[in-house]
């Protein structure tokens, strides 16, 4: 019996004024040497044709359907055209483009739900550009959580709980609190959030990354993990009880650990992923180790979603200097997580 060809990956166009089109074109041009899995872009054929001309790239851009994309991929960049206006002037945000950006994300989730795509890969967006047209979510991750009900009902009957993980070649980190101020992160941190986040991380490391007994390192909030309460009580009163609950559930969790000593090579060899208490505690080490190879992975959803771990970089859009490494890594990781790698 012949094996079924894996569905291609659905890649959103992201912010048209940013480097999403640049890195998409560059990634496609390197498809052979990097063994990229077939993907199609959701957005505007005209946008990618204009950007290819601006960058001087000989990339054939073809309108396609998801079903035809894998066959077309080796000879042209396949684009599912949504038929929406797109200015896409590099470096210049335009509210005209916002509906296209939002619709591309919705279409990607629809395609995964229908089996037309294996996973969602998202180019970076500019949240402020979307807020101008009434976008009601803090970012990609939260929007995808809201859309996840199209795939399956949430396990708790209320809502899917997306969790952001930054994954590089040598390090995986998860911020427990994400896009909030440092003061708000400390105020809002509680044991239930830590436990709920760790459960999702442990489950997805097992099912998506092939680690049946994942080891989780739980960072402290304060310097030296609070130093027995001398530098704050959160580590004693919030984080330590959460770790105890996780261990009682059979999850291999350890902590709270001093964040200044848990990321060196010997320490990293003793665990598989680190839960960090705030945004920069998680992102600084992983981006320092592998800025161009780090991938943003959304855990806790009924589908695979990855994204390059960089922003729209409006200042370099259309200049031919954007590095496609993180997008290539995101595409390859999505393929590996869904079994569609070449």
The yes-or-no verdict on residue 104 having pLDDT over 50 is yes
Mean pLDDT, residues 82-111: 95
Q: What is the pLDDT of residue 1?
A: 35
β-strands 305-308, 295-299: how paired? antiparallel
Count of CA atoms in the C-beta half-sphere (13 A) of 257: 22
If asked whether residues 217 and 266 sit together in one domain, one would say yes
What total of structural domains would you count in the chain? 2
Q: Using the 8-state DSSP alphabet, how is residue 331 labeled?
A: H
If asked whether residues 259 and 328 sit together in one domain, one would say no
If asked whether residues 258 and 289 sit together in one domain, one would say yes
C-alpha to C-alpha distance for 296 and 334, rounded to whole angstroms: 10
The yes-or-no verdict on residue 306 having pLDDT over 70 is yes
Mean pLDDT, residues 307-311: 92
Mean pLDDT, residues 295-300: 95
CB under 8 Å to 167, separation ≥6 — which residues?
Answer: 286, 294, 295, 297, 333
Long-range contacts of 2-7 (CB under 8 A, 24+ apart): 5/70, 6/37, 6/118, 6/338, 6/339, 6/340, 7/66, 7/70, 7/115, 7/116, 7/117, 7/118, 7/340
Mean pLDDT, residues 122-132: 91
143-170 per-position pLDDT tens digit: 898 899 878 888 877 778 999 999 999 9
Give 4's pLDDT tier (boundaries 50, 70, 90).
low
If asked whether residues 49 and 64 sit together in one domain, one would say yes
Q: Can you give the residue range of the structural domain that contains 214?
A: 163-300
If asked whether residues 69 and 34 sit together in one domain, one would say yes
Beta carbons of 226 and 233 less than 8 angstroms apart: yes
If asked whether residues 1 and 69 sit together in one domain, one would say yes
Q: What is the pLDDT of residue 184?
A: 92
Mean pLDDT, residues 320-328: 95
The yes-or-no verdict on residue 127 having pLDDT over 60 is yes
Q: What is the pLDDT of residue 142?
A: 83
CATH number (domain holding residue 227): 3.40.718.10
If asked whether residues 167 and 101 sit together in one domain, one would say no
If asked whether residues 135 and 228 sit together in one domain, one would say no
**Quick one: which of 182, 195, 189, 197 has its CA closest to 233?**
189
Q: What is the pLDDT of residue 291?
A: 84
186-218 per-position pLDDT tens digit: 999 999 999 999 999 999 999 999 999 999 999
C-alpha to C-alpha distance for 300 and 55, rounded to whole angstroms: 38
Q: State the burial class of residue 33 (Cβ atoms within 10 Å of its Cβ: 0-12, 13-18, 19+).
A: exposed
If asked whether residues 202 and 286 sit together in one domain, one would say yes
50-60 per-position pLDDT tens digit: 999 999 999 99
If asked whether residues 134 and 251 sit together in one domain, one would say no
If asked whether residues 328 and 266 sit together in one domain, one would say no
CB under 8 Å to 261, separation ≥6 — which residues?
Answer: 267
If asked whether residues 41 and 144 sit together in one domain, one would say yes
Backbone φ and ψ of 309, nearest 5°:
-95, 60
Return the SS3 of 297.
strand
User: What pTM was computed for the model?
Assistant: 0.91
C-alpha to C-alpha distance for 18 and 77, rounded to whole angstroms: 19
Return the SS3 of 81.
strand
The yes-or-no verdict on residue 342 having pLDDT over 60 is no
Average pLDDT over the chain, rounded to whole?
A: 93
């Amino acid at each position: 019996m012949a094996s079924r060809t894996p569905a291609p990956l659905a890649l959103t166009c992201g912010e048209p004024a940013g480097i999403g089109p640049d890195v998409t074109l560059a990634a496609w041009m390197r498809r052979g040497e990097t063994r990229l899995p077939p993907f199609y872009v959701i957005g505007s054929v005209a946008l990618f044709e204009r950007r290819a001309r601006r960058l001087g790239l000989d990339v054939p851009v073809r309108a396609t359907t998801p079903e035809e994309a894998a066959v077309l991929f080796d000879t042209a960049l396949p684009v599912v055209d949504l038929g929406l206006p797109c200015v896409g002037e590099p470096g210049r945000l335009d509210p005209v483009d916002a509906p296209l950006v939002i619709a591309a994300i919705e279409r990607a989730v629809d395609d995964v739900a229908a089996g037309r795509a294996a996973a969602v890969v998202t180019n970076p967006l500019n949240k402020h550009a979307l807020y101008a047209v009434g976008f009601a979510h803090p970012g990609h991750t939260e929007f995808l959580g809201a859309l996840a009900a199209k795939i399956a009902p949430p396990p708790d009957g209320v809502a899917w709980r997306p969790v952001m993980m930054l994954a590089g070649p040598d390090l995986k980190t998860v911020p427990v609190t994400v896009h909030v101020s440092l003061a708000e992160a400390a105020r809002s941190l509680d044991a239930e959030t830590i436990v709920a986040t760790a459960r999702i991380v442990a489950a997805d490391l097992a099912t998506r990354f092939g680690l049946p007994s994942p080891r989780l390192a739980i960072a402290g909030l304060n310097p030296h993990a609070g130093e027995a309460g001398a530098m704050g009580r959160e580590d004693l009163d919030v984080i330590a009880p959460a770790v105890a609950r996780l261990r009682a559930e059979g999850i291999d969790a350890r902590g709270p650990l001093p964040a200044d000593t848990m990321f060196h090579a010997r320490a990293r060899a003793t665990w598989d992923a680190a839960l960090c208490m705030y945004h920069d505690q998680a992102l600084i080490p992983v981006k320092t180790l592998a800025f161009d190879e780090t991938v943003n992975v959304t855990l806790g959803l009924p589908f695979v979603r990855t994204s390059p771990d960089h922003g729209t970089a409006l200042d370099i859009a259309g200049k031919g200097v954007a590095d496609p490494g993180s997008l290539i890594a995101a595409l390859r990781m999505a393929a590996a997580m869904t079994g569609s790698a070449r």
